Copies of this chain bind each other. A is one copy, B any other.
Amino acid sequence: MTKCFWNGEIVPVDTVAISPFDLGFLRAYAVYEGVAAFDGEPFHFDDHYERLRASAHTIGLSVPYTSEQLLTTLREVLRANELSKGRASMRIVLSGGEADHGIGYNPGNETCIVLAEPAKEPAYTEGGSLLLHEFQRNLPTCKTVEYAVAVSLQAERVARNAAEILYHTKGELRECATSNIFLVKNGVLITPDKEILLGITRKITIDIAHSLGYTVEERTVLLTELETADEVFITSSFRDIMPISHIEDNTVGNRKIGPITETLIQAFKKKY
């Protein structure tokens, strides 16, 4: 039986009973983190905690646990699920708890759930494809549970065998539904810097690229720049660095996993 953390306890996930008055369920008033774990240890936990705290602050939500307490909790959830070896995918949801008059938040009664499941090490033998969708998230730097548009696009994504959905607006790239995007052009990495979620895998990738001597441009990226990119890849906690070979029906570069993408993927694995 899968176990999870629910408001202070490790319990079988089937016994969790979220109230219909919970502000997470009733009003999408909740923040979210997806965290990779390796051999029982959450990866870059401090970065995830800091973003969770910042997201919560943006919507006025209190985080009832210190960084140390939440890290201990994540380790306990991994142990309870016998995930002390290999890779795991974890999710943290922190909501405002039961609503006051259907919409008010009373600090001190938050709902916190931590889930974990076993995951395979990503191993890309070919690139995936992206679908395009014109969309701009509200509160883009804030990682709330606002993924309704992302969910609504999954059926088409699966039907078209695509890896991800790439959001763009006003002719500019933003981010993918659950990942960040990078282009490589003439040996330079290029990635959007505004109106997006600043991903932790994105940050680690930029750090790795710098350490390998690559130039990284964090700037406005036009949709048209996709056409001339030599390589494209996406980054997220559950994918690490994933090569992209197609965008809609267009081929990226030479279709194969690009050399810089491959170099970054290998360097990333050494960070675990």
With an 8 A cutoff between CB atoms, is A258 at the interface?
A: no
* Minimum CB distance partner of A29 in chain B: B151
* Minimum CB distance partner of A157 in chain B: B104
With an 8 A cutoff between CB atoms, is A96 at the interface?
A: yes
Q: Is the CB of A30 within 8 A of B25?
A: yes
Known contacts A28-B146, A146-B146, A20 near B59 by CB under 8 Å? no
User: In the bound complex, what is the Cα–Cα distance between A17 and B17 (angstroms)?
Assistant: 4
Q: Is the CB of A149 within 8 A of B145?
A: no
Task: Flag the segment in A35-43, A132-140, A211-219, A223-231 that touches B.
Answer: A132-140
Assembly of this chain: how many copies?
2
* Minimum CB distance partner of A4 in chain B: B20
| Interfacial chain B residues near A19, Cβ < 8 Å | 13, 16, 18
Interface 1/0s, chain A 153-179, versus B by CB < 8 A?
011001000000000000000000110
Interface 1/0s, chain A 20-56, versus B by CB < 8 A?
1111111111101010000000000000000000000
Q: How far is the CB of A17 from chain B (nearest CB, A)?
A: 3
User: In the bound complex, what is the Cα–Cα distance between A27 and B24 (angstroms)?
Assistant: 9
| Interfacial chain B residues near A58, Cβ < 8 Å | 152
With an 8 A cutoff between CB atoms, is A194 at the interface?
A: no
**Partner-B contacts on A (CB < 8 A):** 4, 6, 13, 15-30, 32, 34, 58-61, 89, 91, 93, 95-96, 102-105, 113, 115, 135-139, 144-152, 154-155, 158, 177-178
Top 7 A-B residue pairs of the complex, sorted by shortest distance between their CB atoms: A17-B17, A28-B28, A18-B18, A27-B147, A29-B151, A59-B152, A60-B152
